[in-house]
Amino acid sequence: MKLTTTTRLERLQDRYKNGGLDRRSFLGLTAASAASAGIFLPWGSKALAQVKDIRFDGWGGVVQEAMTKYAFEPFTAKSGVGVTQGTFGDENEIIAKAKTSAPGDFQVIHSSGVEYYVKYLNAGLTSEINEANIPNMANVMPAMIEPFRKLAPKLSAVPYDYGTTGIAYNTTVISPEEAAQKGASMLFDSAYAGKIGGYDSMVTRVWYAALATGQDPNNIADMDAVWAKVREQRDLAKKFWSSGAELMDLLSKGEIVVTDAWSGRVAALQQQGAPIGYIDPPGSYAWMEDMLILKGSPMAECEELVNFMLDTATSIAVAEGQNYPPSLDPTKVELTDKVKALPAFDPTGKMEALTFADPNYWSANETEWQKQWDRIAKGA
């Protein structure tokens, strides 16, 4: 057995010297051969960890296509570490699967900010990243990092992009002046009955109903009024959409003329020449997304991937591809004109003009409100 292992190691060494293996693969295969024979190598465990592919789960569509083209493929070419990808339509799916899976089955998640970060923390699914291994975090806006630190001093996630769920409207039907005057109330305007859309999400429906009733979505005093407004919109709406692709299809075909909408998907439509306008009324829903590393992941490789994704050139290329601004601080990093022109872009780097959900408030009410929204969506 020792002779066979020795021969295998010698052959691997020859291949490495002759250029047939890169360093990462050589170390990993050598460690694997030694481990199978019970031979201890001081660097063996690290080498074995280095050759693992990273599992990534995200939202799919143009967002994940941009990450694949501008981040994952270049990362693999540089590091030798592959990125195996999955997608989800609702992040709660991933949380449920991660709870019942072995640690490490799910690794890096393109997660929906602090509201979902709380869920991962409460479920014991988070890791503790070594920030020294992600030096590009120095260019991330402090205003985006701090909400995560407030929930847990040891970070498990790094902010990556952000956007808003504002109001999109068809400019052949609704003028920019009308949109500016009416704002979010267009979602409840009977003049557009049967042509109104909205995201099939309890958070979004409650958020805009709260605004329509003159309430703070992060401190609602009269929920009866909110639910009445949700029902009102339900009866006026043509459809509540469930994906970015469906949103774009409904808008581009004119099936709906006004809807709450994701800023990046609206930007994509505008770039295609569609007659779609977009506004962020006061109090409109803003969100940030992060790269979340789950417990049991190969930390060094995942940290290397996140650091690569935060590289200025990489981050800008992904931002331009997916139409959402990056988490890079515009006061530290020179961003392109295309990024600066994206909806929701904050040139100050302070995020003070955007309204985010209070994670503790929404987490405390989520279960009850979700049940009520489910009933209303079914006609109650």
Mapping DSSP to helix (H, G, I), strand (E, B) and coil, where does residue 278 land? strand
The CA distance from 171 to 326, in Å, is 28
Give me the amino acid identity at 46. Answer: K
Q: How far apart are CA 135 and CA 256, in angstroms?
A: 45
Residues in the chain where the model's pLDDT stays below 70: 1-52
How many helices (DSSP H) and strands (DSSP E) are in the chain?
A: 17, 10
Domain boundaries, the chain: 2-50, 54-162+288-352, 163-286+359-377
Per-residue confidence (pLDDT) for residue 30, from 0 to 100? 55
pLDDT value of residue 1: 39
CATH architecture of 163-286+359-377: 3-Layer(aba) Sandwich (3.40)
Query: Could you tell me which of 299, 280, 305 has the C-alpha nearest to residue 162?
Result: 280
| Token pair belonging to 81 | 């570490």
> By the 8 A CB rule, do 339 and 320 touch?
yes
Collapse the DSSP code of 109 into the 3-class scheme (helix H, G, I; strand E, B; otherwise coil) and give the result: strand
The count of residues in the chain is 380
Q: At what angle do helices 223-236 and 202-212 cross, to 10 degrees?
A: 110
* Superfamily grouping for domain 54-162+288-352: Periplasmic binding protein-like II (3.40.190.10)
**CB neighbour class for 39 (10 Å; exposed up to 12, middle 13-18, buried from 19):** middle
CA-CA distance, 207 to 221, in Å (whole number)? 13
Other C-beta atoms lying within 10 Å of the C-beta of residue 170:
19
| Residue ranges of E strands in 112-209 | 157-170, 196-199
Helix or strand or coil: residue 262? strand
In eight-state DSSP terms, residue 72 is: I
User: pLDDT by residue (tens digit) across 112-132?
Assistant: 999 999 999 999 999 999 999
Helix (H, G, I), strand (E, B) or coil at 248: helix
Of 360, 348, 346, 364, the closest CA to residue 164 belongs to: 346
**Distance (Å, rounded) from C-alpha 155 to C-alpha 91?**
19
- Name the burial class of residue 102, with classes exposed (0-12), middle (13-18) and buried (19+) by CB atoms within 10 angstroms of its CB: exposed
| Alpha-carbon gap, residue 209 to 300, rounded angstroms | 44
Could you write out the three-class secondary structure of 150-172?
A: HHCCCCCEEEEEEEEEEEEEECC
Residue 248 CA to residue 274 CA, distance in Å, equals 10
CA–CA gap between residue 91 and residue 294 (Å, rounded): 14
> Does 54-162+288-352 match 163-286+359-377 in CATH topology?
yes
Residues 6 or more apart from 234 whose CB is under 8 A from it?
240, 376, 377
Please state the pTM of the whole predicted model. 0.82
